Structure 1
């Protein structure tokens, strides 16, 4: 029997509830218990010991950034679901050859498709989710693909941090790729960084544009460090013979069409209000078992409460606020 993961390993109390709420908004027909179990399975993948950076704490940050950017997208709940299912496969933080990378995308899409189908998500919605998975993993989207823009900007937001935080990030993803030798890792990471820097802009959303300068500075500094290290380790690693970075216009999704606007019909009530209960807070015993529980570095500013008589589906920001209040009681 699978152990319950909620409230452990620094997992915020609101995180699992956010998965359940978003799946209900996507018209999943499964019970809340079944949805929670599916979320727990994903949390176990996100919380694998070797995931030093791309773990449950990162998932909470990713969802918070989606909330922050949600004003320009068409369906933030679908993006939250995509964020959860990205943890079904190993994170991509270094360059992979096309065959390996395509297999990684297909594996994630297949896991999502099988899981969401069992949970009663409509087939059309599943196709859209799989399309967004491809966009998110490729980190490339057209300017008219608003939902794709938000999930990519939210994922890349981690690059816009202080130099000290970025150094911790670099060390963490090196540890996540511990199977690679120093030379192979530096070559693969260098290609990954160069591909990002080749883009005219890292972020396409209005909010994301404010992250552009610091993120690009961090990437350029990392590239300089990689160049210097490879120069000493093996200068051949700087040649990149036969490798051509992918242009932003080169990528296409696995679906036949890129939706400029989601065509999935969502009942108005599903957007404005829900009858979902508030998240289950961890007990004092569970809290004591958890180490480094707080995720406050990801917690954005508090939002106002919903009007009395209207029960809204809470965002990550609001759920975090509720969890903090409960902890003080």
Structure 2
């Protein structure tokens, strides 16, 4: 098969489409013939040499894909050759084939094309596990999403609105905020021109956000704590603003607030399977009903993954950038 390889860490030009050995479906796995994958910021870090795949997983980048089952390994039930699926991966999505633990497979939801289904697994599992399974967002509460126009953000807006929450977003341009509003965002904050702490306080009558979904990490830590409501929950899922920050524990204690920080890629298989099962139970019906849909900025041939990485690095996109197998 062909896959995107990284001989040496570096810029987008480090991504090379070349022939590699086919993967093999081990016990409890299926082999998926990939139709499309999607670009996540973790892929950019892997390309730069900062985010190695977990031991035993594929060395190729790609944390989600869609395609058809080509082979079913021993010990797998409920899936058959030819089934159209999308999958959460620890790696290997930038390839023509990938071996996937059966617990990380999802059927392509009704109303979504096979190609566009590649935009769902990583972001939906990330949002559902952090915002709902850990932070327990409830109807009537306010969710603040940093990076509202990102792949994560566009799904988080829709899921939060579907359960009856109020949604605030930050983004860096009017165009991106307009797209967030189209998806249902109620409070629009341009982080280049506005202080999100002041804006969220004003919009909530001084209360603050009940849940914050944060991709920035250290840079926003203090302000996020100040923006939280009493009993608020801060869910950190990214470190684009650094890894070390100063935390005012007194402020956190006074608000009876909580901070969680998680990554999805390195979790044990059973934890990933539990998240995927919860997504299939709770989110797939919302997709079928049209309340949640993948937001795709563009589709790029997988053998031009370098261009896709440039697009994501420039941050001008809204939603997901897909890689389609040529």
TM-score, normalisation: structure 1: 0.31
Name the structure, 1 or 2, with higher relative contact order (CA <8 Å, separation 6+): 1
TM-score, normalisation: structure 2: 0.31
Q: Which of the two has greater helix per residue?
A: 1
